[in-house]
Amino acid sequence: MNQPAIPVQNRYWSAFTTLVLASALPLATAQASPPCEAKSCPSAWVDMAPEQEKQVMKFAKDYKSFIHRARTELTTVKETIKLARAAGFKPWHVGASLKPGAKYYDNNRDRSLTLFIIGQDALETGARVSASHIDSPRLELKGRPVYGKSGFALFQTNYHGGIKNYQWTNIPLALLGHVDKKDGTRVPISVGLKPNDPIFVIAGLSPHVDVDLRGRKNRDVIAAEELDPIIGHREKDANHGAKAMVTSHLRDTYDIGLDDLVSAELSLVPAFAPRDLGFDRTLIAAYGQDDRLSAYASIRAILSAKTPQKTAFVWLADNEEVGNRNNTGAHSTYFIDLYSDLLLQQMGERYREPYLRRALKASRVISTDVNPGINPHWPSAWEAGNAPRHSHGVNLKIYGKGNNANSEYTAWIRAMLDDAGIPWQTATYKVGKGGGGTLGGELSHYNMDVVDFGVPVLSIHTPYAISSKSDLYWLYQANAAFFEK
């Protein structure tokens, strides 16, 4: 792990959107700092230059604005395309020019997205790929979700990703997504994020009457089938309860019936706004930082990039939290198909399948995903010598058991970070007591060199996770250095 060095050369960039009106953040380029043991390495805030601290705080402010709007993969793709268009990226289509410096984005069904800049070297020589996922643990509506009970109207839900059920009670929830109707029209729905919007709440039992629940274990305090939020209470008339009123509201407001909810993608997510945490404002509390924190860092890095030597890709994938499934997840052939199309465009009649396989083998990938950091209440969850700490920089995930990047690629990554003056650390779970997946395994399946990369975050998979502003900034810088090397 290396201490941060003060940048000696600045390279400014800017992207203009409603979220980022004008940013000018220098990329760190400095001599490598000497390595140090985890216990002796100071926080990245120690001796940070005032100008650099301003950059860190500005970057975090833009991030909070982004993640407030980007609550699901659908909204993340939408917000990212806004940023990309403002930075000069255009929609990719077969036949578009692939001259060095050309900037494109490819929208995969509004749920997955790839940004790329064509490099000076031919695609057949390999590329640089930063991959992260943009889905987060949440609640989803069942196909026929509306029902009435005890004078209330409620939604029947299912969960997406690993959650602790009890953490989702008694908090404000927003409903986001869309409904696709049989006539081909799509009805967008967003309720709960604006100050004057109503919210939805899963009501927990009061301690006065919860005797029957007290014997339940941690994960079963609230059963999965009990995660049903209240969505209405007013009865339509003496013969029609709250369900009828909700049904009328959906018809009158959105022109949809209960049948239309069968072909809907609607998610319930925490409605909290991202906030600074602590007197010193060095931490961020926000929903969805697994893994939209990593996604944002890579997005901003490619938006700031000049013409790279190797073609640079940022791939934002869906469904990592449920096993990289479906045609928008990393298990699909989507990204490989896109690379094949681009290679065919460059090579023309010379193109053959082996050229694609050789190009993938020559490519280098960072699979960026957050991971738990040392928790001040339960530090024993980690073996301290290999545990990631907030504000100590990006971390290389060293899993063992055949799941590591090979040593020569890890050494290449270390050199990249050191040459750019970026602080880094390692993360290894206690043996047999921790773990988690990323996109790395899916990409290494195609014979690409992949390393798992991230930053520590507290309270992952909860409604309000906690990250360090400096770690976010250094992950952005690490992506930028990766595209340049």
Give 439's pLDDT tier (boundaries 50, 70, 90).
confident
CATH code at 138-270: 2.30.250.10
Cα dihedral 339, 304, 370, 141 sign? negative
Contact partners, residue 39, CB within 8 Å, separation at least 6: 384, 385
Q: Say how far apart CA 356 and CA 328 lie, in whole Å.
A: 21
Which one-letter amino acid corresponds to residue 484?
E
What single DSSP character describes residue 240? Answer: B
Task: Please give the pLDDT value at position 12.
Answer: 27
Rounded average pLDDT over 128-152 = 96
Would you state the pLDDT for residue 125? 97
Query: Whole-angstrom Cα distance, residue 234 to residue 190?
Result: 21
Check whether 41 has a pLDDT greater than 80: no
Kindly report whether the peptide bond that precedes residue 318 is cis, defined as omega within 30 degrees of 0.
no
| Exposure letters 300-337 (e unless 16+ CB within 10 A, then b) | bbbbbbeebebbbbbbbbbbbbeebeeebbbbbebbbe
Cβ-based burial of 296 (10 A; exposed 0-12, middle 13-18, buried ≥19): buried
Confidence band of 1 (pLDDT split at 50, 70, 90): very low
For residue 146, give the nearest of 269, 256, 271 by alpha carbon: 256
Residue 389 clears pLDDT 70, i.e. is over it:
yes
| C-alpha to C-alpha distance for 187 and 210, rounded to whole angstroms | 40
Q: Which residue is listed with tokens 């833009």?
A: 62
Given a cut of 80, is residue 274 above it in pLDDT? yes
The arithmetic mean of pLDDT across residues 234-256, rounded, is 90
Domain layout of the chain by residue ranges: 38-136+287-484, 138-270
State the pLDDT at residue 27.
53
Identify which of 158, 175, 176 has the alpha carbon closest to the alpha carbon of residue 78.
176
Count of positions (residues) in the chain: 485
The Cβ-side half-sphere exposure at 220, using a 13 Å CA radius, reads: 6
Q: What is the mean pLDDT of residues 19-43?
A: 51
Q: Which amino acid is at 382?
A: W
Among the four given CATH numbers 3.40.50.300, 1.10.10.10, 3.40.50.11290, 3.40.630.10, the one describing domain 38-136+287-484: 3.40.630.10
∠124-333-103 over CA atoms, to 5°?
A: 50
Nearest to 451 by CA among 387, 371, 367: 367
- What confidence category does residue 149 fall into, taking pLDDT thresholds of 50, 70 and 90? very high
Rounded to 5°, the CA angle 313-317-319 comes to: 170
Count of beta carbons in the 10 Å neighbourhood of residue 379:
10
DSSP per-residue letters across 342-363:
HHHHHHGGG--HHHHHHHHHT-
Find all residues with CB under 8 Å of 447, minimum gap 6, and list them: 357, 360, 361
**Residue that is written with structure tokens 């001796």 in the block:** 47
Rounded Cα gap, residues 357 and 448, in angstroms? 9
pLDDT exceeds cutoff 70 at 346:
yes
SS percent in the chain: helix, strand, coil, step 5: 30, 25, 45
At 326, phi and psi to the nearest 5? Answer: 70, 175
SS3 145: strand
Instruction: Give yes or no for residue 237 having a pLDDT over 80.
Output: no
Nearest to 151 by CA among 71, 87, 244, 46: 244
> Which spans in 313-406 are helix H?
334-347, 353-361
Residue 318 DSSP label = B
- Is pLDDT of 36 > 60? no
Position 374 confidence tier, pLDDT thresholds 50, 70, 90: very high
**Which of 467, 391, 387, 462 has its CA nearest to residue 423?**
391
Partnered with residue 368 across adjacent β-strands are: 453
CA 157 to chain centre: 23
The pLDDT of residue 26: 53
Torsion of CA 172, 323, 313, 416, to 10 degrees: 90
Only one residue has tokens 């060293």, namely 398
Please report, as a single letter, which amino acid is at residue 460.
I
Q: 317: which strand partners?
A: 133
Query: CA 330, 334, 336, 342 torsion: positive or negative?
Result: negative
Q: What average pLDDT does this structure show over 294-304?
A: 98
Q: What is the mean pLDDT of the chain?
A: 90
- Rounded to 10°, the helix 50-69/289-304 angle is 120
Q: How far is CA 168 from CA 171, 222, 305, 462, 464, in A?
A: 6, 9, 39, 8, 10
